[in-house]
Structure 1
Amino acid sequence: MPATPAISLESGESMLAKGPEELNRFMASTLEPAISSEMPQLEVRYKNLSVTADITITEDVTAKSELPTLFNTVAKAFARVSPMRRVVRKEIIKNASGVFKPGTITLVLGQPGSGKSALMKMLSGQFPVESNITVEGEITYNGVAQNEIIKCVPQFVEYVPQTDRHFATLTTRETLEYAHTFVGGGLVEKGAETFAKGSVEENLAALEAAKAYYKNYPDIVIGQLGLQDCENTVIGNALVRGVSGGERKRVTTGEMEFGMKYVSLMDEISTGLDSAATYDIICTQRNIAKTLHKAVAISLLQPAPELASTSSPLVA
């Protein structure tokens, strides 16, 4: 019979009783013997990456002309085919190179409009490359070029967007449970094949831990992000009263945690959060990166000194 686990697997609350750091260490130490290796890892590299956009503009660029009125919309449509149109090339990312390594957390710093969001969308395969967009350079995942696996990139690289988009009438718990069911609810079914390289006891312990983790994952995310007080409150929007802006941002962060993702790219997650909440989230992500060998990159505008000290490298 396998030894009694160091952490109770009865519920999400009991699994977090000793804190998220201890839970992550327990999961890593339990799963790795059964897969006969460390947790799966993914290294993201980008070299000489440049992104430019050809933008059509007119001479009449004023505050009034930019209002979303019917007249301005029609005028802009005619401007695109008019011989008087002018096309300018805007640099979004210019000759950027870097690497996000497993087991590290990286802060990406820059002013608004400096290309932080564009970089993260490019690396997560979610940048809308249209006919007016030119992309140069290389992006690889464990040495494999992005264009060879572009359709699979979202399966192992998560992107936490800067904007919060949710179903306003769903509660916090319903939102996270929906994400869990839609993205990762069936992953444990493959557990018997995955956890088969250790002893019988190690394989059984790993399978039981994985089942408990995925069964209680919404509760674990709620506990890690401090959403217990609003788990039964609707998300809300401009017309429906719901959770606060900071709580909504944490829901956005938690929603993208589900699924077997090896890289986390988080875009301006501090929006609407106080420094203490931001610090807690970054510390949790740092522990996940260290214990589960995950690559984490977080873009921030003006991080406090204590936040900068929690990361390994900085990209500015």
Structure 2
Amino acid sequence: MEVRFQNLTLSAELEYSNNPETIKVPSVASALKSIAKSFAPTKRTATKYILKDVSGVFKPGTMTLIRGQPGSGKSSLMKILSGRFPMAKNIKMEGEITYNGVPHPAIIKRLPQYVLYVTQRDNHFPTLSVKETLEFAHEWCGGELSEREKKRFNQGSPEENQAALEAARALHRHYPEVVIQQLGLENCQDTVVAMLRGVSGGERKRVTTGEMAFGNKYVTLMDEISTGLDSAATYDIIKTQRSIAKKLCKTVVIALLQPSPEVFHLFDDVMILNKGRVMYHGPCEQVTTYFEDLVFHCPPKRDVADFLMDLGTHRQAQYERNDSILPSPLRYAHGFAEAFANSDIYKAMLKNLHGPHDSVLLQDKEEVVDHIPEFHQSFLESTWALLRRQMKFTLRNTAFIKARALLVLVVSFFYGSVFWNVDPNDAQV
């Protein structure tokens, strides 16, 4: 699935404070004052731009790295593209987003069925094993071939169609095992995903990725997945995602804070954000040459990823070339954004942005994308799946069951002792 976005702007109207550094202690008076301010006819507000005129194309079969300082808009961009950004009355979104040519508003309700979004944190049920976690995710996404998918096996003879259908059913039935093998989780598939005595941090991150991969997602968005991982675990995860992107022709976009040189070279494209603006979006092999033309030189012993991270900050002075005949180097985010808008790389990106869609993508949209439902399961099927999972949690939590049983016995003993040897004919009773 090809994701295109043009002039994407995200802003928030925030109430202006005379002294923003003052922290008020919550009290009844402050709560009443806040309620009174909400009914005021005029409010002093200021516009905060989270993203400003962001344009780009994420193509299938490629892997894009998003770089930027904290607060640059990386997570906001990913959440908007995945349909998970918490919109509110004071938040305004402008611009155009399309998925294989389908506008964002027309697909917003079904967007979680196409786009995989992996957050920074790994939230799992600790008493479930790796295999059980992935099996539940697979069941929640349907578990079996749908009737629409079965009808697609009609290109050969009846015997060939039946054989292909049986093979697809077998693959779909054992898809959790396939994901376990793809992510290298065979040795820990029966280990619980616990924080105290469970899988390692890298394995837990792979479980999070695999859990979100069910349901035939076309786009993968991963936000700061290297948090808490060493460089070796990060490299293994990124290498696996690159293999999936190339073999399955998926669109993979990953935001990393401190990638190693080996990890950086696994990506095809890189997008650099600074204060919500795009400083660069293009091939990784051209990024150093581009900034060389802007009088910024990456030293031989400096990682390219760290070099890109320092641009647009107070640390960029160490990369400025004094022998350049060009004007003084850029200092702020809007200056870098204007320079990129005048570059040949930006013009090539605009050509892809405004160009026609691939006929294969349009055919896939008509045959597959348009027919994917908003929910894979009915209400009763979802309720039954949740009930079975909760029963499994309860039965495995032996400490809770024993403590609860002991509590019931102790409370019953005290209640029973209140009426011990009480005369039922006593008038006070």
TM (norm. structure 1) is 0.75
Partner residue, 1:9: none
Partner residue, 1:30: none
The structural deviation recorded for 1:187 is: 3.0
Which residue of 28, 46, 56 corresponds with 2:15? 56
Which residue of 245, 251, 264 corresponds with 1:295? 251
SS where residue 151 of structure 2 aligns?
Answer: helix
The alpha-carbon distance between structure 1 residues 264 and 56, as it changes in their structure 2 partners (threshold 3 A), is: same
The structural deviation recorded for 1:79 is: 7.6
Partner residue, 1:17: none
- In structure 2, how many angstroms separate the alpha carbons of the residues matched to 1:170 and 1:201? 41
With 142-151 and 185-194 compared, the bigger mean Cα shift is at 185-194
- In structure 2, how many angstroms separate the alpha carbons of the residues matched to 1:91 and 1:195? 49
Is the counterpart of residue 313 in structure 1 residue 269 in structure 2? yes
Q: Equivalences for 1:258-269 in 2 at 5 Å?
A: 258-269=214-225
Output the amino acid matched with 1:292.
L
> Does the CA contact (< 8 Å) of 2:143 and 2:172 recur in 1?
yes
Is the counterpart of residue 304 in structure 1 residue 260 in structure 2? yes
Tell me which of the two structures has the higher relative contact order, counting C-alpha pairs closer than 8 angstroms and 6 or more residues apart: 1
Is the counterpart of residue 166 in structure 1 residue 124 in structure 2? yes
> Does the CA contact (< 8 Å) of 1:253 and 1:269 recur in 2?
no
Question: Between the two proteins, what is the percent identity of the paired residues?
Answer: 56
The alpha-carbon distance between structure 1 residues 306 and 199, as it changes in their structure 2 partners (threshold 3 A), is: farther
The structural deviation recorded for 1:85 is: 6.5
Partner residue, 2:38: 81
Is the counterpart of residue 256 in structure 1 residue 247 in structure 2? no
The count of corresponding residues between Structure 1 and Structure 2 is 271
- In structure 2, how many angstroms separate the alpha carbons of the residues matched to 1:298 and 1:54? 29
> Does the CA contact (< 8 Å) of 2:62 and 2:252 recur in 1?
yes
Whose helix proportion is higher, 1 or 2?
Answer: 2
The alpha-carbon distance between structure 1 residues 123 and 85, as it changes in their structure 2 partners (threshold 3 A), is: same
The alpha-carbon distance between structure 1 residues 193 and 80, as it changes in their structure 2 partners (threshold 3 A), is: farther
> Does the CA contact (< 8 Å) of 2:144 and 2:173 recur in 1?
no
Partner residue, 2:138: 180
> Does the CA contact (< 8 Å) of 1:172 and 1:251 recur in 2?
yes
TM (norm. structure 2) is 0.57
> Does the CA contact (< 8 Å) of 2:64 and 2:269 recur in 1?
yes
Partner residue, 1:108: 66
Partner residue, 1:247: 203
> Does the CA contact (< 8 Å) of 1:79 and 1:85 recur in 2?
no
Larger Rg: 2
The structural deviation recorded for 1:155 is: 1.2
> Does the CA contact (< 8 Å) of 1:48 and 1:97 recur in 2?
yes
Output the amino acid matched with 1:221.
V
Q: After superposition, give the CA deviation of every residue in 1:159-214 in whole Å (9 maximum; x if it has no partner).
A: 11222222233222221111110014123554431222245676455434422322
- In structure 2, how many angstroms separate the alpha carbons of the residues matched to 1:82 and 1:185? 51
Q: After superposition, give the CA deviation of every residue in 1:44-87 in whole Å (9 maximum; x if it has no partner).
A: 1000101011223544544854x8x6679847844853869643
> Does the CA contact (< 8 Å) of 1:58 and 1:79 recur in 2?
no
The alpha-carbon distance between structure 1 residues 230 and 96, as it changes in their structure 2 partners (threshold 3 A), is: same
With 85-94 and 295-304 compared, the bigger mean Cα shift is at 85-94
> Does the CA contact (< 8 Å) of 1:56 and 1:80 recur in 2?
no
Partner residue, 1:154: 112
Listed as ranges, the gaps of 5+ residues in structure 1 are 1-41
> Does the CA contact (< 8 Å) of 2:5 and 2:98 recur in 1?
yes
Partner residue, 2:6: 47
Q: After superposition, give the CA deviation of every residue in 1:225-281 in whole Å (9 maximum; x if it has no partner).
A: 2333433333335xx654343332222111101011111111112222222222222
SS where residue 79 of structure 2 aligns?
Answer: helix
Is the counterpart of residue 226 in structure 1 residue 184 in structure 2? yes
- In structure 2, how many angstroms separate the alpha carbons of the residues matched to 1:227 and 1:76? 55
